[in-house]
Structure 1
Amino acid sequence: MNPIQLCLTGLLLAAASVMPSAAAELPAAFRAGLDAAFPDVERLYLDLHRHPELAMNEHRTAAALADRVRALGYEVTTGVGGTGVVAVLKNGPGPVLMLRTEMDALPVQEKTGLPYASQSTGLNDGREVPVMHACGHDTHMAAWYGTAALMAQSRSAWSGTLVLVGQPAEETVQGALAMLRDGLFTRFPKPDYALTMHDEPFAAAGQVGYRSGYFRVGYDALAITVFGKGGHGAAPANTADPVVQAARLVEALQTLVSREQDPSEPMVITVGSIHGGSRPNIIPDQVKLGVSIRTTNAATRQRVLDGIERVAKGVALAAGAPREPLVEVTASAAAVYNEPHLTARAVGVLRDVLGEQNVVEVPARMASDDFGNYVQPGVKTLILQFGAVPASRLADARAKGVSLTSLPMPHSPQWAPDYVPAIRTAITAETALLLDLFNKK
């Protein structure tokens, strides 16, 4: 085992409570660095959890990340793609590696009962709403900072350029494209490898999950406006009711899945919002629907987009609407692809340092992540999952025959990661992969 591998093993075996006690017998340089850095990492996590911010409003969050990595010696640029942060550490010749974290939170009221629970609010569609890190981006940011600290402290162990990206608006799939359009891969060194991690509700804290190839599906958000002729609720015959159109459209769209899609290829259409009208006795002149689609390839995506427009026009025609509906794509994210050779290499590294039982294959997901937009020529991408649930809770659920989906999940008001082992494991995995890729031998 070479010195780099020894240092990695010393760090990684110590990182999570599920790991062997043999770590105490191994070189302690990296382990000591993680232990020394973790109190500040934890302070950052708790602060971010208490003060979440919605997409494209991550001003306080971005400043917190930028200030910390600037103090570590990184060259920091803020305001990239809106509120994005780019921190570059050049450390001699070698590959360019990018490590990305998301910064935004969700319009969810926290109900965890934790002493550090969020009390923050923000504006969502012009309305003030509670805000919570219900997807665990606070754990991602804390791990990102911890990894940044370890990499800055261990410059003698690697050579190349490390680009740290704090990305806004992942939840609205706006942030990656916004940063790319603002020159992420042109103003700054373009990465050979782009890495990220996400917390995982079906794995124990201390574990890491992987999936080679396509891992998460493509996503599109649509705004559909159906038009009618408004009037008095007592005289519907004198109107063309867009509320009825909207109700018909919600059901009709599902036939694109049940009757026009190959059952062996997954696809999801969700109508997540309907807005129209002001009073029970007034028929409005328009209704707006918020729709999302999730598809596995470009051909299916185009077919369903065409199908949505066709079905919406058909419903409007049947209702005698005064004009065709307006269908707009408001946001898009490409499918997330884990480059197979990079995935295999990462699995080998993590199994060596975390243990075979702590690196598990996970199924492909219908969830999306705009990390897929970083898939470009010359850039190999990888997203890994890190366990965020106490092992005892998962074991208890399995022993009782309870479905794991009944436990709190990301995007729920009760989502509360087991943050200490989860973050330490994420730091461990990120540092291991970066050091391995920077040292190709």
Structure 2
Amino acid sequence: MAGGGKPRPYIVPSANSPKPMNHLLSRVKQLAAEAAADTVALRQHLHAHPELSFEEHKTVAFVTGELQKLGLPAQPIAGTGLVAVIEGRNPGARTVALRADMDALPITEQNEVPYKSQNPGVMHACGHDVHTASLLGAARILVSLKDEFEGSVKLMFQPGEERLPGGASLMIAEGVLENPKPNSVLGQHVFPMLPAGKVGLRAGRYMASTDELYLTVRGKGGHGAMPEQNVDPVLVAAHIIVAAQQIVSRRANPKMPSVLSFGKVIAQGATNVIPNEVYLEGTFRTLNEEWRNEAHQHLRRLCEGLAESMGASCELEIRRGYPYLENEPALTARTEQAAIEYLGADNVVELDQWMAAEDFAYFSQAASACFYRLGTAAADGSGRLTASVHTPTFDVDPHALEVGPGLMAWLTLRELAEK
């Protein structure tokens, strides 16, 4: 997880910045506060009924019902995704798209809370329940204010962020960024390294691409006491694991972050048995597509050449995952400025680069996009609720369910006012 960041200085608006909309700012905060209890209830319902990637059928039905209450018809997309549009005055003037992912993880929850997961082995451990509830909350605010703004707001409820090929890529392929075409796309993600009430941003390259590595090394097994009669795939695999690190340390530009890790090694031998093959799984991540492609070639040549030189053979499968995520600088600057207006300068921080991956990156590659982080740790300074995402004890401070929708609505209104 990236660090908590540092406070951002207040940015003086440029001459082209929208004029202050103080009446709308106070109205958004009021609506967010009034709806906070309902937004918490939405999140708790979603948390108690998690569904895995591309299996979000009950979640979709629930979200559809909530949108209908707001008078918003929803259109299905990418199997278990939804799209709805809020039209303000002059709907074609400008469009902002807002994204929330809906899927959960195959984790058994350990929190003992009234809203604990009711689906054994499935948990909203990455905050997608918070994202979905926040977007529903933001939609509620924006519907209330639709006579106050020009343009349209596209609500994108996305399936399958946690599983390749990623629901974002499928939604884009099915035309989610068309009719109307958004001028900007905003995404929000929970961040337990910050207390509720704070947000973090980073302009430019922020999150890494991710590729899955599946490597099988084949040799000739036999008795461990007679190595001269065997071709030991365990030794070959060990050499590959060590040698592959030079791709990062000696092939990569030192200024370009790269990670190569093998997290799974299976050699079904014994104390005195050399197996016929070894199976490995790993990941490669970076922040540059050209170097990413080059690294794939280096890794393939290294594995095959090293195995052959030791009398073995290997097969390397590289499953290409999400691209790197880049926050468009101008949009991110506007988002930061609007966040400062909503939360105050002390509550907006600059984030470090993070080598985790997110399929929101597909939106960032296809449109002007900004992906920011919502603080979710206890706002009382107690240090509670700091369990990392993807762990069985992850949870959030309810105050984040007031900040998240209100901030998203305000960022949208600010972006719609951009000329």
Structure 2 residue aligned with 1:306:
297
Report whether the alignment pairs 1:38 with 2:36: yes
Letter of the structure 2 residue corresponding to residue 336 of structure 1: L
Match of 1:16 in 2: none
Deviation at 1:381, TM superposition (A): 0.3
- Aligned position for 1:412: 391
Match in the other structure for 1:380: 368
**Pair 1:438-2:393 in alignment:** no
When residues 99 and 320 of structure 1 are mapped into structure 2, their CA distance, relative to the original with a 3 A threshold, is same
Question: In structure 2, what is the Cα distance between the partners aligned to 1:230 and 1:89?
Answer: 64
1:48-101 CA-partner distances (Å, limit 9, x unpaired): 2122222222222222222222332223122x2232222223332321211011
CA distance in 1, matches of 2:161, 2:197: 25
CA change 1:239–1:191 in 2 (3 A) is: farther
* Residues 99 and 158, structure 2, Cα contact 8 Å, conserved in 1: yes
Report how many aligned residue pairs link the two structures: 399
Q: 1:228 to 1:157 in 2, by over 3 A?
A: farther
Q: TM-score, normalised by structure 1?
A: 0.81
Is 1:103–2:102 an aligned residue pair? yes
Alpha carbon RMSD of aligned pairs, Å? 2.9
Change (3 A) 1:179 1:275: farther
More helix by share: 1
Distance 1:153 1:271, change over 3 A: same
Give the match for residue 52 of structure 1. 50
Tell me the residue number matched to 1:353: 342
Aligned ranges 1:21-36 → 2 under 5 Å: 31=30, 33-36=31-34
Higher relative contact order (CA 8 A, sep 6+): 2
1:264-294 CA deviation, whole Å, 9 max, x = no partner? 3321112233456498887665444322111
State whether residues 35 and 402 of structure 2, in contact with CA within 8 Å, keep that contact through their aligned partners in structure 1: no
- Percent of aligned pairs sharing the same letter: 35
Superposed, 1:203-222 pairs within 5 Å as 203-222=194-213
**Structure 2 CA distance for partners of 1:427 and 1:229, relative to 1, 3 Å:** same
The alpha carbon displacement at 1:242 in A equals: 4.0
Alpha-carbon shift at residue 237 of structure 1 (Å): 6.3
Quote the residue 2:75 is aligned against. Answer: 77
Give the TM-score normalised by the residue count of structure 2. Answer: 0.85
Q: Mapping of 1:168-317 within 5 angstroms?
A: 168-173=159-164, 174-186=166-178, 188-229=179-220, 240-275=231-266, 277=268, 285-317=276-308
> Tell me, what secondary structure is at the counterpart of 1:333?
coil
Decide whether the 8 Å contact of 2:75 with 2:84 is kept in 1: yes
> Are residues 1:88 and 2:85 paired?
yes
User: 1:191-242: per-residue Cα shift (whole Å, max 9, x none)?
Assistant: 1110001111221100111111111122222323333456688877665454
Q: Contact conserved, 2:67 with 2:74, CA < 8 A, in 1?
A: yes
1:23 alignment partner in structure 2: none
Classify 1:201/1:96 alpha carbon distance in 2 versus 1 (closer, same or farther; 3 Å). same
Deviation at 1:246, TM superposition (A): 3.5
Q: Which amino acid aligns with 1:37?
A: A
Gaps of 5+ in 1: 13-30, 122-129, 398-403
Contact 2:379 2:399 in 1 (8 A): no
2:359 corresponds in structure 1 to: 370
Change in Cα spacing, 1:214 to 1:417, as seen in structure 2 (3 Å) is same
Q: Secondary structure of 1:341's match?
A: helix
Q: Give the match for residue 150 of structure 1.
A: 141
Partner of 1:389: 377
Shift of residue 411 of structure 1?
1.8
- CA distance in 2 between counterparts of 1:232 and 1:56 reads 46
* Closer/same/farther in 2, CA of residues 161 and 11 from structure 1, 3 Å limit: closer
Helix, strand or coil at the partner of 2:298:
helix
Q: 1:231 to 1:132 in 2, by over 3 A?
A: farther
